[in-house]
Amino acid sequence: MRKGVEMKNQKSVQIENFVKELYEESVSGDVHKKSKLYQIAQRSNPEMSANQLNSMIYNLWNLEGTSRKGRGMFQIPEMSVFEDYLNSVSTSTTKKVKGEKVEMPKKTKGTKKVVDENQEMNYVPLVDKNYVKWGDYKTIEQVIKSRMFYPIFITGLSGNGKTMMVEQSCARNKRDMYRVNITCRTDEDDLLGGFRLVDGQTIWFDGPVVKAMKTGAVLLLDEIDLASDDIMCLQPILEGKGVFLKKINKFVEPSEGFQVFATANTKGQGDEHGKFVGTGFLNEAFLERFPVTVEQTYPKKAIEIKILTKYWESLETETPDDIEDMETLIDQLVTWAGITRTSYNEAVLSDLITTRRLVFIMKAYSIFGNIQKSIELNLNRFDDLTKMSFIDLFKKVSAIEDMQEDDVLKEEVTTVASFEEITE
pLDDT, tens digit, 9 for 90 and up, residues 135-191? 999 999 999 999 999 999 999 999 999 999 999 999 999 999 999 999 999 999 999
- The per-residue pLDDT of the chain, averaged, comes to 83
Do 385 and 289 fall into the same domain?
no
pLDDT at residue 354 tops 60: yes
pLDDT at residue 361 tops 80: yes
Res. 63 pLDDT band, cuts 50 70 90: confident
Task: Tell me whether residue 123 is in a domain.
Answer: no
CB 364 within 8 A of CB 377: yes
Q: What is the DSSP string of 307-353?
A: HHHHHHHHHT-PPPTT-S-HHHHHHHHHHHHHHHHHHHHTTS-S---
What span, in angstroms and rounded, lies between the C-alpha atoms of 241 and 12?
Answer: 41
Res. 323 pLDDT band, cuts 50 70 90: low
For residue 283, how many C-alpha atoms fall within 13 Å in the half-sphere facing its CB? 12
Task: Tell me whether residue 120 is in a domain.
Answer: no
The H or E element containing residue 96 is none
Do 290 and 310 fall into the same domain?
no
pLDDT at residue 411 tops 80: no
Q: What is the pTM of this model?
A: 0.67
What span, in angstroms and rounded, lies between the C-alpha atoms of 102 and 83?
Answer: 8
Do 318 and 207 fall into the same domain?
no
Please give the DSSP secondary-structure letter assigned to residue 272.
Answer: S
What span, in angstroms and rounded, lies between the C-alpha atoms of 397 and 394?
Answer: 5
The pLDDT of residue 16 is 86
Task: Tell me whether residue 124 is in a domain.
Answer: no
pLDDT at residue 243 tops 60: yes
Q: What is the DSSP string of 158-209?
A: TTSSHHHHHHHHHHHTT--EEEEE--TT--HHHHHEEEEEETTEEEEEE-HH
Do 91 and 153 fall into the same domain?
no
Do 84 and 23 fall into the same domain?
yes
pLDDT at residue 402 tops 60: no
Beta-carbon count within 10 A of 253 CB: 11
Phi, psi of 293 (to 5 degrees): -120, 125
For residue 419, how many C-alpha atoms fall within 13 Å in the half-sphere facing its CB? 19
Going by DSSP bridges, is the β-strand pair 193-198/201-206 parallel, antiparallel, or unpaired?
antiparallel
Q: What percent of the chain has pLDDT over 90?
A: 55
What span, in angstroms and rounded, lies between the C-alpha atoms of 308 and 355?
Answer: 9
Going by DSSP bridges, is the β-strand pair 67-68/243-245 parallel, antiparallel, or unpaired?
unpaired
Q: Provide the Cα torsion 176, 215, 196, 23; round to 10°.
A: 140
First vs last C-alpha separation in the chain: 97
What span, in angstroms and rounded, lies between the C-alpha atoms of 264 and 279?
Answer: 9
Task: Tell me whether residue 316 is in a domain.
Answer: yes
CB 298 within 8 A of CB 341: yes
Q: How many domains does the chain have?
A: 3
What span, in angstroms and rounded, lies between the C-alpha atoms of 338 and 320?
Answer: 24
The parent domain of residue 142 ranges over 137-295
* pLDDT per position as a tens digit, 253-275: 999 999 999 999 999 887 766 67
Last residue of a domain, one of 256, 274, 295: 295
Do 219 and 271 fall into the same domain?
yes
Res. 90 pLDDT band, cuts 50 70 90: low
What span, in angstroms and rounded, lies between the C-alpha atoms of 22 and 20?
Answer: 5
pLDDT at residue 98 tops 70: no
The pLDDT of residue 164 is 96
pLDDT at residue 114 tops 50: no
Identity of residue 255: S
The pLDDT of residue 60 is 86
Task: Tell me whether residue 112 is in a domain.
Answer: no
pLDDT at residue 22 tops 50: yes
The pLDDT of residue 277 is 72
The pLDDT of residue 84 is 72
Do 261 and 167 fall into the same domain?
yes
Average pLDDT (46-68) is: 81
Do 179 and 259 fall into the same domain?
yes
pLDDT at residue 298 tops 50: yes
Do 14 and 55 fall into the same domain?
yes
The pLDDT of residue 82 is 82
Do 269 and 388 fall into the same domain?
no
Percentage helix, strand, coil for the chain under 3-state DSSP, each rounded to 5: 50, 15, 40
pLDDT at residue 236 tops 70: yes
Going by DSSP bridges, is the β-strand pair 292-295/152-155 parallel, antiparallel, or unpaired?
parallel
